[in-house]
Amino acid sequence: MRIDLQIGGYLISLDEPENHPQLAWPMRPFDSFLAQSASQPDLAVTVTVASHLPSLSKGPLRFDAAHGLWKLFESADGLVIESLSPNTQQPRSCALVSEDYRTVSAWILPELQMGQVGWCPMHLFNPLIEVCFLSRMAREGTLLLHAAGLSSHDQGYLFTGASGAGKSTIADFFAERGALVLSDERIVIRKIAGHFIIYGTPWVGSGNYANNDRHPLTQLYCISHGTGSHTMSRMSPRTVAQELLRQSFLPLWDREALQTTMATIANLVEQIDCRALAPLKSPDIVDYILAQRQLHPVGPS
C-alpha cells in the first residue's frame, strides 16, 4: 500500500508493500493533503512492519531530542533515527536515512487498536518523517514557520508569534470575512521564481485550519497581545530575523540546513514588508489591518 502526500509543494511517498492494515488512517486533516502522483517523490519512505526492530549499525550521536523520544546517529550508510513511544518509552520505530534526506528505509512495530492489528502511519510521521521532511526543505531554503497564513483581497498575510499570541484568533476573524486560511499553526514558505509563496500544512492550531493551497506572500506580522487599541509599527530587519528564528522549526542536527535557513530568513526580511502588530481580541482587527495596508504600501523592511 502506498501513501502519497503533497505538502508545501513537496511529494512525500510511503510504500508499505505487504499491505498491512493502516490504523487511524487517513486522519484529518492529513486526508486533504493526499495525492496520487506518478512523479518522483521528494521524500521516498519504504516501510517495513516488523515484529522486532532491526539493530542498525550506528556511529556517533548527532542529536538527542527532548526526553530522548528520538535520536539521530551518524552511520556509514547515512543517518539512523530511533524513535520511542511517548506512552511506554519503548522503541517504536527506526530508520536508515540517506545523507540528503531523500530516501528512507523505515521499520515500525505493529499495534493493536480497536481489535485490529496493523501499523499507524502517524507514528512514522511524528517524529521520523517530520525530521526528514524538515531537513529536506531546509537544505533547499524552504522554511517551516510557527504561524497563521491566509489570503484575503489578493494579499498573502503571515502572522507569527509565540503560542497564545493570537494567531488562530486573527485567522478566525479573517475567515469570518471570507478569507482563505491556509493554516493557523505551521506554514511552509518557499521562494519560487523570485517570489515567496506560503503553503498550508496539515498541522493545525486551535482553529483547525488546514488548506492544501498556496498564495504569494505580501505582508508579514510579528504579533503580541495589545492593550487599549490596535497598534502597528515598523521593525528593524535584525528584530524581524530574530523573531523568525524563534518561531522557525530549525533542523538543529544539520549544519548545512541551518546555514541555508539563516540565509533564507535574511532574504525574506529584505524582500517582504514586516511589521509588529499588537492587536486586541476584536473582529475589527481585520478592518484595521486592511486600512493600514492602504496607508502603508508594500515595501521592504
Residues 159-187 pLDDT 10s: 999 999 999 999 999 999 999 999 999 99
Dihedral (CA of 197, 201, 203, 208) sign: positive
Percent of the chain with pLDDT over 70: 98
What pTM, to 2 d.p., does this model score? 0.95
pLDDT band, very low/low/confident/very high, at 280 (cuts 50, 70, 90) = very high
Q: What is the mean pLDDT of the chain?
A: 95
Mean pLDDT along residues 100-126: 95
pLDDT band, very low/low/confident/very high, at 37 (cuts 50, 70, 90) = confident
Structure confidence at residue 298 (pLDDT): 57
Distance CA 95, CA 224 (A): 40
Structure confidence at residue 160 (pLDDT): 98
- By the 8 A CB rule, do 212 and 33 touch? yes
Question: To 5 degrees, how large is the angle CA 97–CA 44–CA 89?
Answer: 50
**How far apart, in Å, are the Cα atoms of 3 and each of 15, 19, 41, 93?**
6, 11, 11, 18
- By the 8 A CB rule, do 180 and 211 touch? yes
Mean pLDDT along residues 76-85: 96
pLDDT band, very low/low/confident/very high, at 297 (cuts 50, 70, 90) = low
Walk me through the domains of the chain, giving residue ranges and CATH numbers: 2-139 (no CATH), 143-295 (3.90.228.20)
Cell of 257: 540546513
Coil, helix or strand at residue 161? coil
Structure confidence at residue 276 (pLDDT): 97
